[in-house]
Structure 1
Amino acid sequence: MAEKGFQGDMPIHHDTSGSETENEKSLVDEALENTDINNNVSARIKNPLAGIHHATLMRDVEEFAEEFSLQEIAPLLKKGALVAQNPGEFESVEGLEEAEKDALRNEVVHKWRQPKAMYFTVIPCSVGAAVQGWDQTGSNGANLSFPVEFGIPDTDPTDPSYERNLWLVGLINSAPYIASAFCGCWLSDPLNNYFGRRGTIFFAAIFCLLSVIGSGCTQNWYQLFICRLLLGIGMGAKASTVPIYAAENVPALIRGGLVMSWQMWTAFGIFLGFCANLAVYDVGRIAWRLQLGSAFIPAVPLVIGIFFCPESPRWLMKKGRYAEAYQSLLKLRNHQIQAARDLYYVHAQLLIEHKIIGTTHYAQRIVELFTIPRVRRATLASFTVMIAQQMCGINIIAFYSSSVFSKAGASNLTALLASFGFGLVNFVFAFPAVWTIDTFGRRALLLFTFPQMAWCLLGTGFSFYIPSESRAHLGCIAFFVFLFAAFYSPGEGPVPFTYSAEVFPLSHREVGMAWAVSTCLFWAAVLSLTWPRMVAAMSPTGAFGFYAALNVTAFVMIFFWVPETKQRTLEELDYVFAVPTKKHMAYHLNKSAPFFFKRWVRFDKSATLEPLYTFDHVQSDATRSASVVQYTQEHRKR
């Protein structure tokens, strides 16, 4: 009989004699013989339960149930394991009741019909994103007045302190992103380790609540700088945890659509921030205090609401708390057969992952982001999509739109109204991504939208050459800024945080997300710090042209380094990121690019593209969806 033991967080099996148990051989060694998730040269995506003999699988489930005190649901776990072994053939699994089959069909046919508890977990995630967006735009409107209030005006080039003031304003605006990149993001791993996903989100929300109130009460620029540094601690921990929490709770078929709610509601928070800027525009000298302090409003429901959400089942499994994980899954799935299937399937993959990657302490996990091949590829891909979010130039507008429109000759009120328009466009055009991100995929959205954003920025820059006395001057600048936001919102807007939350294995998910978000926010700090000086040195046309060129560079990086992840379970992504980067690059250069040219440039409808990945004993969710829909239609006809 196997003796239960733990190495780090992950449960492992040790025989009392020191030899491996048969359970571990069947789930781990057999899988390792077929596919190495560190070097998947054949690009095969394998189901870890596939090929295991029925009697062996049933014995494994019995031992699993006994080890984690789940004997009461052992029969259900057996049925769940058989479903997970071949998801596309669940209709033929013996012992499944009709209600269980209906639940499995409906999760494909009616994929958005999910439990209220599952959707409720997305609500705090959405509120957390709104906090992030509101925090970003509070300073946007305040930029028009707080520099004068604190004696650091940045609008008069004849002022001897002009250069110093430019850097100071940039430093204050960038403070949250500096603190996030160097502290807040990296706190998320130990916080998650000790307090879980919910506890970490609560910790972050407290910082986001109190620091913005403090910002509105500051009496000099360095007090404001300190308050915004404290805000960054909360922003970093929250941005590194909320997308992970959402990704781990939702089914694979709609994971992209729900996890991207982070960006959609960040856009909503940006929009609300612009609304608040306008609402207090004409209240006098304290306007900037209200603009900064108003961001506490969405933080309040986040602090309260997170305690009513279930903890992440995968985090609980990581801690060996399988009974609690099952109870959490019961709240997040429509039927207990789905909960049992997901519990055992994730467990099987985690055993393999643990065998190959192991469990290490925090400092080792940081190093392993760059040394373990499977993790290193996820690190590169997440770095690419995150730095691309800053390279595209969106935060030029989010942080400084009021200043940009002011330089275009707009009055303060007109500049705020134009910024409000940008926020509205940014929010409205985020909605299509709920559908497109899981239909067209993450990679396809990025490759389509980056070229569009490049020419929009060029259009914005060249519009500054229109004589300032012409009404077309400000109108064209605003038009291209709004068009830029319309392309950004369904593409580079939702993808980075969704993508980064799903690409790392569970063992490195917190530290990997910390790396990704710190990359994003560090370069946001660089952008915020350098933009005032860049505009002064290069003119608005030159500065916008510079970011247009960065869009083209980001397009090339994404083309070569970002694999597609749509409609794959988090565990199956181990095999996607096991494919060597050289093989991925060669495929897209030699096959994907020529196919695109033939199909969409020469309009050759006969052009075909050989798929990169092969699915060994596992169906893609897209294929499974088609088969279930076809079965349902035939069943109804009968």
Structure 2
Amino acid sequence: MNKMVNKDIKDPSIKVKMNKSYTILISLIVALGGFLLGFDSAVISGAVKGITIYFEMTPTMVGFSVGCVVFGAMAGNLLAGPMSDWLGRKKVLIIVAALFSISAIWSALATGYAEFIIARMIGGIGIGGAILIAPIYIAEIAPPKLRGTLVSFNQLNIVIGISVAYFSNYFLVDIGTDSWRWMLGVEAIPAIIYFISLFTVPKSPRWLILKLNNIALARKILMKIGGEAYAEITIQEIQRGIAKKETKGKLKDLLSSKYATIMIIALGIAFFQQITGINAIFYYAPTIFEQAGGSTDSSFLQAIVVGLTNLVFTLVAIWLIDRLGRKPLLLIGTTCMTIALLMATFAFNNATYDFNEKTLEKVNNTEIKMALQDLKGRSFESQSLLFKELKLLLTPKDALEFERNEIKNFIQINDTLVLMAILLYVASFAISLGPVMWTLISEVFPSKIKGIAISVVGFFNSLVSFSVTQVFPWELSRLGPTTTFAIYALLSMCAVLFVYKFVIETKGKTLEQVEELLIRS
């Protein structure tokens, strides 16, 4: 076996028989964290109306109640990397599962706004850990030829979680005034299943060698994945990588010119994944469709279609990522995202707000209906002009009520074009920035700095996501949907240029080969 020291896994003289079913099973169990992440992220979209009424929230409070999960994820991001280096990937994922369980139960039972926020932030910490450590674990146990596909299982589970959340919300919405509690509480079931299942997966072989020098256990795990030859080759490659690293990576190392290319790619992709508005779409899907004139029931149904589209095209991405490659998927996806956002901009730009006897009759609030009589016979070409006029007619409280529940009665828009735009956008994200970002992040960082680097990039990604979800309700109500989608379209166009200029292809390469390529470049 010592003759294999300098051979590559692709060497035709070495026969490696992969135990695909075992590796896939491990990856699926670990990727259940992605399911919880997706469910937790999307379930709030159906609960927004209920919690807004129950906790008597302003638009800023609504934005924070939704975005606080991402705020909690920042803490999870910062803690997850170093903790996974210290305790191991598996133990951190077990802690994550426990946090999801606690958050689901507590947020469903909360009776005060502050209590609700704390419970949601605990879930956010779980999200911060799951979104970083699950891909790292899978990347470290996956053979190079399967790595892109297996890491994408995490993104697949995220979108399954989103879809299940939309279905769950649809079926629970008519339970009554406390339907939001059921929406949030059902997450405890998969969270507990995840917690129990994690005890059946092995520890990361790379972590065992790097941190504990436990080669015997690492070899046993790797043999189960790919046989004796694969285990020996992989161990030797890991050891060669370790031999190049004399000290543990520190935060200041990330600023070194040695890692400049890696950090540009990682931070850039993390930025564009969120700044182009994906979480605004998922968190506020029913709200967007209501803005386009849909009823509550139809907006929830359309949100389900969004979730299913995300699921189908994530499956397409998993099929293509190790065939077509990472960079081509990113270029195709971000280009189509730009087109979709321009379609949405066009649809809302051509919308009008008509005040006539028929539309005014639909208003439920008597005081608002009386105040709006002064607008009878008028039409507004933009939401911002309408809101400017409403400030003169309505109290701040009534204006807020109008924005939440009544504006949909007055909009005249091509709602089919809006739905098509949103579906194209989600499909494009699902084949590109969604799964490929996490695959790249799990591949590009050397073992020396992986723990600290993944935390920094994850924190940055969550910070951008928090900013988007916090600002989105304000953007819709103050800037209007036209300007909001135009901004996202411009940012998506910038993402295309970034991918073309900076992102490199990692398809089919070992983690050590990717490291050598990036550091050398």
Determine if the TM-score, normalized by the shorter chain, exceeds 0.5: yes
Q: Specify the SS of the correspondent of 1:85.
A: coil
Instruction: Trace 1:93-492 onto structure 2 (pairs within 5 A).
Output: 101=14, 103-104=15-16, 114-152=19-57, 165-181=58-74, 183-319=75-211, 320-333=213-226, 335-352=227-244, 354-355=245-246, 358-360=247-249, 365-371=250-256, 373-464=257-348, 465-466=350-351, 473-492=414-433
CA positional deviation for 1:85: 2.2
Give the structure-2-normalised TM-score.
Answer: 0.86
Match for 2:164: what amino acid? Answer: L
Match for 2:343: what amino acid? Answer: G
RMSD: 1.7
Match for 2:255: what amino acid? Answer: F
CA positional deviation for 1:89: 4.5
1:277 & 1:471 partners in 2: Cα distance?
27
CA positional deviation for 1:494: 0.5
CA positional deviation for 1:560: 2.1
Contact 2:313 2:430 in 1 (8 A): yes
Contact 2:9 2:233 in 1 (8 A): no
Contact 2:293 2:411 in 1 (8 A): no
1:295 & 1:512 partners in 2: Cα distance?
30
Residues 119-143 of structure 1 show CA distances to partners (whole Å, capped at 9, x for unaligned) of 2211122211000000001111111
Q: Specify the SS of the correspondent of 2:248.
A: coil
Contact 2:335 2:492 in 1 (8 A): yes
Residues 416-464 of structure 1 show CA distances to partners (whole Å, capped at 9, x for unaligned) of 1111110010001111111211122111111121121111011112222
Match for 2:111: what amino acid? Answer: Q
Contact 1:455 1:548 in 2 (8 A): yes
Residues 352-408 of structure 1 show CA distances to partners (whole Å, capped at 9, x for unaligned) of 2x14xx225xxxx1221112x343322221111111111222112111111111111
Consecutive unaligned residues in structure 1, runs of 5 or more: 1-75, 92-100, 108-113, 153-164, 581-638
Instruction: Trace 1:38-57 onto structure 2 (pairs within 5 A).
Output: none
Contact 2:7 2:233 in 1 (8 A): no
| CA 1:417–1:167: 2 relative to 1, 3 Å | same
Q: Greater Rg, structure 1 or structure 2?
A: 1
Match of 2:375 in 1: none
Residues 42-76 of structure 1 show CA distances to partners (whole Å, capped at 9, x for unaligned) of xxxxxxxxxxxxxxxxxxxxxxxxxxxxxxxxxx3
Match of 1:556 in 2: 497
- Of the three residues 511, 523, 539, the one matched with 2:480 is 539
Contact 2:293 2:412 in 1 (8 A): no
- Of the three residues 464, 468, 472, the one matched with 1:527 is 468
Q: Specify the SS of the correspondent of 2:519.
A: coil
2:282 & 2:158 partners in 1: Cα distance?
11
1:260 & 1:168 partners in 2: Cα distance?
34
1:118 & 1:87 partners in 2: Cα distance?
17
Match for 1:573: what amino acid? Answer: V
1:535 & 1:85 partners in 2: Cα distance?
58
Residues 488-523 of structure 1 show CA distances to partners (whole Å, capped at 9, x for unaligned) of 111111011111011111111121111222121111
Contact 2:336 2:424 in 1 (8 A): no
| CA 1:174–1:376: 2 relative to 1, 3 Å | same
Match for 2:417: what amino acid? Answer: C
User: Between Structure 1 and Structure 2, how many residues are aligned?
Assistant: 463
Contact 1:274 1:420 in 2 (8 A): yes
Contact 1:141 1:277 in 2 (8 A): yes
1:471 & 1:579 partners in 2: Cα distance?
57
Q: Specify the SS of the correspondent of 2:434.
A: coil
| CA 1:304–1:87: 2 relative to 1, 3 Å | closer
| CA 1:297–1:413: 2 relative to 1, 3 Å | same
Match of 1:80 in 2: 4
Consecutive unaligned residues in structure 2, runs of 5 or more: 354-409
CA positional deviation for 1:537: 1.6
Contact 1:79 1:341 in 2 (8 A): no
Contact 1:429 1:486 in 2 (8 A): yes
